[in-house]
Amino acid sequence: MTKPFSWLIPGLLLSPFYQIALSFELQPIASSLIETGRHATRDDDFSVLDLLSSETFLWGGSQNGRSALGNLTVHMPGDAENIISMEKFQPLLRSTECTNKSMTMDFKDERSYQYGQRLWQWVNDADERRFVLVAGNGHCGWNQHRLPFVVSNVLFNDAKNMISVIGYVSDWKTVAHTYELFVGGHPSSEKRDIDKTFSLDFNHALPLSSKSFSMGDFKFTYDCDDCGTKGEFEFQFELKTELFIPTGVSMTLSPQGVSANFNPRLGLSANFTGTKTDEMELGKIPIDGLTIPGGILDLGPEIVFSWGYALGPIIGTAGVSTGVSIGLEDSAELKIDLTSPDLSASGWTPKVTKKPITVDASISGGIKVNTKAAMELALEALNTGFEIGLDLEPWAGATLTVASSSGAVCPDDPENHHFGVKVAPSAGVNLNVEASQAGDENEPFLSKAIASLTMPLPSMCTGFGAPSNAAGSSRKTTTKVTSTPLPRPYTTYSPTTAPPTVEPTTITTATSTYSYSSSSAISSIPASSPYPYIHRKRHIERSNG
């Protein structure tokens, strides 16, 4: 069902710091350089003075190795309206004088003046006729950006070859009622000198690499070295509007070398039978945005990192290390249609690399930890504004069961420990997208998962305590427990076979190294992410300043 266009609002509640310090402003590409066939190529060709039913304006620029192109085509389909760009005929002028109500142009020769007089007389022949004259940067001396001027009357001075247009200074949001706007690389129908796709930087380390807290007898430490994201997202945006009503609004994101690395080490000390879950924001990293001056476009992106856990029941004290790395194919593409609303995604099945899990002391319970890297975009184009979040969430978990035996508790244990911990690990990743109205505190009007994978890993067993063989019988029968891994005894599991091929659906089978029965300590923790989106929380925070 198509959502009503109540979300057409004139502003985004973004920090001015993000817009000014981190956005780069695209500069105009002069209309006289556009190969449209309508600029003067001969001394007697003054067609650049023709009043047109549509006109195209380009902006371009590059910063930090990334280039962008903005293409705005404004249509004037009515019988009583037209448009013309001064950039095309400015070489025919000696000078221009502007006020808020008039523009006076001094033509270099009589022939160009007479051509303009003949064409522009059109606006004087009927009271309802208007045309938009767009002055280029600095053409009026005081205008820093392209300036739309609505002309309702024209005066001619034959003696001085001067034309004065009478009307008023306006803005793009008012005069551009029917248009197409493209921002990114070059559109498929246009071949320009600037052809690099604009990209959003995704190379960032996790802002907070360690944390600790305690609640009663529950103590928890978290460390994550070499955790963060890499790569970039190519970005394109298209907006089509007819008589101020959007008929097509879409955004496309494509990963380029995008990966995420998550290698947490947890220090746990607890004795409780319940469960604990939480998610906390670690930090925001604003990245280079994009601005087309004159209120045409403002893009304010940022990366928001968060971290979450689901634990319990937990009995014991130990250190647990695990991890997962994910990578996205460069061929992946996500296109979000904001008028339907809907999205199409292809090639987003992530490559998941599991890390070995280590346990350095006796502990039982359920553990699941995740990190989330959200690419958030707040965008306003003319009178249309919205926010979009793309969340990448790798996670790792395990069920830990304390075991004992009169013999060796773990097969293939050369020291034949009587006590140990059996581990059933798992790992996965969730990729989610949501979109909301800019400044709207209601629920997102679009929220979908574009990928969700769960990868159970082969079981493992770690022996602890005094070994039962003769060589170890003289050792103490207690195990020292610390918050860091002991040199020995502990066992690191490392798969000896290649990981199974990951399909877009959840994997439900895995090779088990050892068979055993254990308590369902983590059965209440779903394989998919248990944590709600935090995008709405951040969105409301921005809305409240």
**Tens-binned pLDDT, residue by residue, of the chain (545 aa):** 333 333 332 222 233 333 333 578 999 998 654 444 444 445 567 999 999 999 999 999 877 777 889 999 999 999 999 999 999 999 999 999 999 999 999 999 999 999 999 999 999 999 999 999 999 999 998 999 999 999 999 999 999 999 999 999 999 999 999 999 999 865 444 444 444 567 889 999 988 778 888 877 888 898 998 899 999 999 999 999 999 999 999 999 999 999 999 999 999 999 888 888 989 898 999 988 899 999 999 999 999 999 999 988 999 999 999 999 999 999 999 999 999 899 999 999 999 998 888 999 999 999 999 999 999 999 999 988 889 999 999 999 999 999 998 888 998 888 889 899 999 999 999 999 999 988 777 689 999 999 999 988 889 999 987 787 644 443 333 333 333 333 333 333 333 333 333 333 232 223 222 222 233 333 333 333 333 333 434 443 444 44
Six-digit token pair at 153? 């009357």
pLDDT at 43: 54
Cβ proximity of 264 and 369 under 8 Å:
yes
> CB under 8 Å to 262, separation ≥6 — which residues?
224, 227, 323, 324, 325, 370, 371, 394, 395, 396
Six-digit token pair at 20? 């000014």
pLDDT at 137: 92
| pTM, entire model | 0.75
In this structure, the number of other CB atoms found within 10 A of the CB of residue 271 comes to 12
Six-digit token pair at 152? 């309702």
Region of 65 (left: φ > 0; alpha: ψ -120 to 50; beta: rest) is left
DSSP summary character for residue 503: P
**How many angstroms separate the CA atoms of 28 and 139, rounded?**
13
As a 3-state breakdown, the chain gives helix, strand, coil percent values, each rounded to 5, of 10, 50, 40
Strands (E), 90-135: 93-98, 102-107, 130-135
**How many angstroms separate the CA atoms of 89 and 45, rounded?**
11
DSSP summary character for residue 216: T
Q: Is 207 exposed, middle or buried (0-12, 13-18, 19+ CB in 10 A)?
A: middle
> CB under 8 Å to 34, separation ≥6 — which residues?
56, 58
Q: State the SS3 of 266-305.
A: EEEEEEECCCEEEEEEEEEEECCEEEECCCCEEEEEEEEE
pLDDT at 457: 85
**How many angstroms separate the CA atoms of 395 and 390, rounded?**
16
> CB under 8 Å to 268, separation ≥6 — which residues?
219, 220, 311, 314, 316, 317, 318, 319, 320, 363, 365, 367
Query: What are 167's strand-pairing partners?
Result: 151
pLDDT at 218: 84
**How many angstroms separate the CA atoms of 124 and 151, rounded?**
10
First to last CA, the chain: 32
At residue 26's C-alpha, the angle toward residues 23 and 28, to 5°, is 160
Helix ranges (H only) for 233-389 are none
Q: How is the chain split into domains, by residue range?
A: 14-179, 210-233+257-328+350-484+515-543
* Residue 144 main-chain phi, psi, to 5 deg: -85, -20
Six-digit token pair at 417? 């420990």
Please state the separation of Cα 317 from the chain's center in Å. Answer: 39
Which of 323, 307, 303 has the alpha carbon at shortest distance from 262?
A: 323
**How many angstroms separate the CA atoms of 388 and 253, rounded?**
11
Cβ proximity of 227 and 264 under 8 Å:
yes
Omega before residue 313 within 30° of 0, cis? yes
Tell me the pairing of strands 358-359 and 363-381: unpaired
pLDDT at 78: 96
What amino acid occupies position 312? Answer: G
Reduced to 3 states (helix: H, G, I; strand: E, B; else coil), residue 380 is strand
Six-digit token pair at 521? 């300590």
